[in-house]
């Protein structure tokens, strides 16, 4: 299935049906009068967040969504049939933006969440509604209320607990494959990962979701390489895993390159907890790896972990550290009374 995280669609609810002008004229019935029924209500356009979807590819092949119009009223006080509503199913984590691509309409954060995007028009009143003591035979009815329509942008931000960042070929895909059942493409050239990948990691009878995004390069915030387009998929993460190839000539400079690109994208990523990891430890002698770790720790002032996705060295230790960060963040939110804010960036 091809990955697509942005799409533009047109939505329109159904207009209401018109009320009827009708009079009752039946043989042997003494009193007649107006009996025009009301028009039916137009259908709504409803959004629903569902599980088991992680792409917006369906909206590449269908961009127009229109609810059914309401039927007109009829004589004998018969109300027109209401139009059928339509429900658009989107992946959890989808943001709905106005046509300007800046105004947020709704953020679909939880499975089962629904949102009324366009309300159907009410049906018009038939002439039976206008009968009064001074107007026994009204010839007046109403047209149905108009529909609502709009163009909207859909932007998917995957829901993950932890996110992998680093330069191309930093070992992110290898680490994801070693940590979960995900099978990302792994090769010895840059940008083997062209779109985000998700994996479920199990550790000590607990699970968390790990996201891998395409690697960043210097100037990514200015559009170089794949740019920062996919960084939105880790905005909701509780913690970032910053992977650095242990064979880098200057691991400190490499670290700062990625951090500068994150800062150029948004402060929300810079402020997130970060675990720094030297990857591909199997490619160097242990003493050389330890030397690189000491250089990096001294240069950035943070603890540095060492892993190898190939030999599984240190992988479970990282999983436990990530799990501790996730639990800590959620406990902090619970104490602050923000239990429902689990997925907010």
The reply, when asked if residue 134 is annotated as ligand binding, is: no
Write the CATH number for 281. Answer: 3.40.50.300
The reply, when asked if residue 64 is annotated as ligand binding, is: no
pLDDT value of residue 182: 65
Q: How confident is the model at residue 206 (pLDDT cuts 50, 70, 90)?
A: confident
The reply, when asked if residue 18 is annotated as ligand binding, is: no
Count Cβ atoms below 10 Å from residue 200 Cβ, excluding itself.
14
Residue bearing the bigger pLDDT, 331 or 22: 22
The reply, when asked if residue 345 is annotated as ligand binding, is: no
Going by DSSP bridges, is the β-strand pair 304-306/274-279 parallel, antiparallel, or unpaired? parallel
- Asked if residue 1 is part of any domain, the answer here is no
Section 292-297 average pLDDT: 90
CB contact at 8 A, 293 and 306: yes
- Asked if residue 97 is part of any domain, the answer here is yes
My answer on whether 107 and 194 are in the same domain is no
The reply, when asked if residue 195 is annotated as ligand binding, is: yes
My answer on whether 180 and 121 are in the same domain is no
pTM: predicted TM-score of the whole model, two decimal places: 0.74
Structural domain span for residue 37: 6-156
My answer on whether 312 and 215 are in the same domain is yes
pLDDT value of residue 328: 83
pLDDT tens profile 161-185: 888 888 888 888 888 888 887 676 5
- Asked if residue 274 is part of any domain, the answer here is yes
Q: Does position 12 have pLDDT exceeding 70, yes or no?
A: yes
Section 217-235 average pLDDT: 64
Tell me how far apart the alpha carbons of residues 152 and 138 are, in angstroms, rounded to a whole number: 43
pLDDT value of residue 178: 85
Residue that is last in its domain, among 156, 173, 193:
156
The reply, when asked if residue 116 is annotated as ligand binding, is: no
Residue bearing the bigger pLDDT, 332 or 129: 129
My answer on whether 276 and 128 are in the same domain is no
With pLDDT > 70 as the criterion, what percentage of the chain qualifies? 88
CB contact at 8 A, 209 and 161: yes
Q: Is the dihedral of CA 253, 254, 256, 257 positive or negative?
A: positive
My answer on whether 91 and 191 are in the same domain is no
pLDDT value of residue 123: 94
The reply, when asked if residue 191 is annotated as ligand binding, is: yes
Q: How confident is the model at residue 2 (pLDDT cuts 50, 70, 90)?
A: low
- Asked if residue 116 is part of any domain, the answer here is yes
Q: Does position 265 have pLDDT exceeding 90, yes or no?
A: no
The reply, when asked if residue 184 is annotated as ligand binding, is: no
pLDDT value of residue 25: 79
- 11: closest CA among 117, 112, 162, 98? 117
In which residue are the tokens 């009301």 written? 38
My answer on whether 192 and 336 are in the same domain is yes
Q: What angle do CA 321, 254, 199 make, to 5 degrees?
A: 40
The reply, when asked if residue 167 is annotated as ligand binding, is: yes
The reply, when asked if residue 43 is annotated as ligand binding, is: no
Integer angstrom CA distances of residue 301 from 55, 90, 181: 39, 42, 34
My answer on whether 296 and 233 are in the same domain is yes
The reply, when asked if residue 130 is annotated as ligand binding, is: no
pLDDT tens profile 31-48: 778 999 999 999 999 999
The reply, when asked if residue 194 is annotated as ligand binding, is: yes
My answer on whether 218 and 329 are in the same domain is yes
Q: How confident is the model at residue 195 (pLDDT cuts 50, 70, 90)?
A: low
The reply, when asked if residue 300 is annotated as ligand binding, is: no
pLDDT value of residue 343: 37
CB contact at 8 A, 108 and 94: yes
Cα end-to-end span (Å), the chain: 27
My answer on whether 195 and 328 are in the same domain is yes
pLDDT value of residue 341: 45
Section 23-38 average pLDDT: 82
Q: Does position 125 have pLDDT exceeding 50, yes or no?
A: yes
Residue that is last in its domain, among 156, 171, 197:
156
Residue that is last in its domain, among 97, 123, 156:
156
Tell me how far apart the alpha carbons of residues 226 and 191 are, in angstroms, rounded to a whole number: 8
Q: Does position 193 have pLDDT exceeding 70, yes or no?
A: no
In which residue are the tokens 């947020």 written? 104
My answer on whether 243 and 296 are in the same domain is yes
Residue bearing the bigger pLDDT, 112 or 342: 112
- Asked if residue 196 is part of any domain, the answer here is yes
- Asked if residue 207 is part of any domain, the answer here is yes
Q: How confident is the model at residue 201 (pLDDT cuts 50, 70, 90)?
A: confident
My answer on whether 186 and 111 are in the same domain is no
Q: Does position 342 have pLDDT exceeding 50, yes or no?
A: no
pLDDT tens profile 62-111: 999 999 999 999 998 899 999 999 999 999 889 999 999 889 999 998 88
Q: Does position 338 have pLDDT exceeding 70, yes or no?
A: no
The reply, when asked if residue 221 is annotated as ligand binding, is: no
Tell me how far apart the alpha carbons of residues 315 and 328 are, in angstroms, rounded to a whole number: 20
Write the CATH number for 51. Answer: 2.70.210.12
Section 17-24 average pLDDT: 92
CB contact at 8 A, 182 and 197: yes
The reply, when asked if residue 146 is annotated as ligand binding, is: no
Total domains present in the chain: 2
Tell me how far apart the alpha carbons of residues 37 and 151 are, in angstroms, rounded to a whole number: 34
pLDDT value of residue 344: 39
Calculate the average pLDDT of the chain.
Answer: 85
Q: What angle do CA 285, 290, 292 make, to 5 degrees?
A: 95
In which residue are the tokens 């000539």 written? 249
The reply, when asked if residue 126 is annotated as ligand binding, is: no
The reply, when asked if residue 268 is annotated as ligand binding, is: no
The reply, when asked if residue 192 is annotated as ligand binding, is: yes
My answer on whether 217 and 233 are in the same domain is yes
- Asked if residue 321 is part of any domain, the answer here is yes
Q: Which two tokens stand for residue 323?
A: 């799990």
Section 217-226 average pLDDT: 57
Q: How confident is the model at residue 238 (pLDDT cuts 50, 70, 90)?
A: confident
DSSP tag of 221: G
């Amino acid at each position: 299935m091809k990955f697509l995280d942005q799409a533009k669609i047109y939505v329109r609810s159904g207009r209401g049906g018109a009320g009827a002008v009708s009079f009752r004229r039946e043989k042997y019935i003494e009193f007649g009068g107006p009996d025009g029924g009301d028009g039916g209500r137009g259908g709504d356009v409803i959004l629903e967040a569902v599980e088991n979807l992680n792409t917006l590819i369906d909206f590449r092949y269908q961009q127009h969504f229109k609810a059914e119009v309401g039927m007109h009223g009829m004589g004998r006080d018969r109300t027109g049939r209401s139009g059928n509503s339509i429900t658009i199913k989107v992946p959890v984590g989808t943001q709905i933006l106005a046509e300007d691509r800046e105004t947020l309409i709704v953020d679909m954060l939880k499975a089962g969440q629904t949102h009324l995007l366009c309300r159907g028009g009410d049906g018009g009143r038939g002439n039976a509604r206008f009968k009064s003591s001074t107007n026994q035979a009204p010839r007046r009815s109403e047209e149905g209320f108009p529909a609502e329509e709009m163009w909207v942008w859909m932007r998917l931000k995957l829901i993950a607990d932890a996110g992998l960042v680093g330069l191309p070929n930093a070992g992110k895909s290898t680490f994801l494959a070693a940590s979960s059942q995900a099978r990302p493409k792994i090769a010895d050239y840059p940008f083997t990962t062209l779109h985000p990948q998700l994996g479920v990691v199990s550790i000590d009878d607990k699970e968390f979701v790990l996201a891998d995004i395409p690697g960043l390069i210097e100037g990514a915030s200015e559009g170089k390489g794949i740019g920062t387009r996919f960084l939105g998929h880790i905005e909701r993460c509780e913690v970032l895993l910053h992977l650095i190839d242990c064979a880098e000539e200057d691991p400190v400079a490499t670290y700062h390159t990625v951090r500068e690109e994150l800062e150029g994208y948004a402060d929300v990523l810079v402020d997130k907890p970060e675990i720094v990891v030297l990857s591909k430890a199997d490619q160097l002698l242990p003493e050389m790896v330890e030397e690189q770790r000491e250089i990096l720790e001294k240069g950035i002032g943070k603890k540095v972990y060492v892993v190898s996705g190939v030999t599984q060295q240190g992988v479970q230790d990282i999983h436990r550290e990530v799990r501790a960060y996730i639990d800590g963040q959620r406990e902090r939110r619970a104490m602050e009374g923000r239990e429902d804010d689990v997925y907010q960036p």
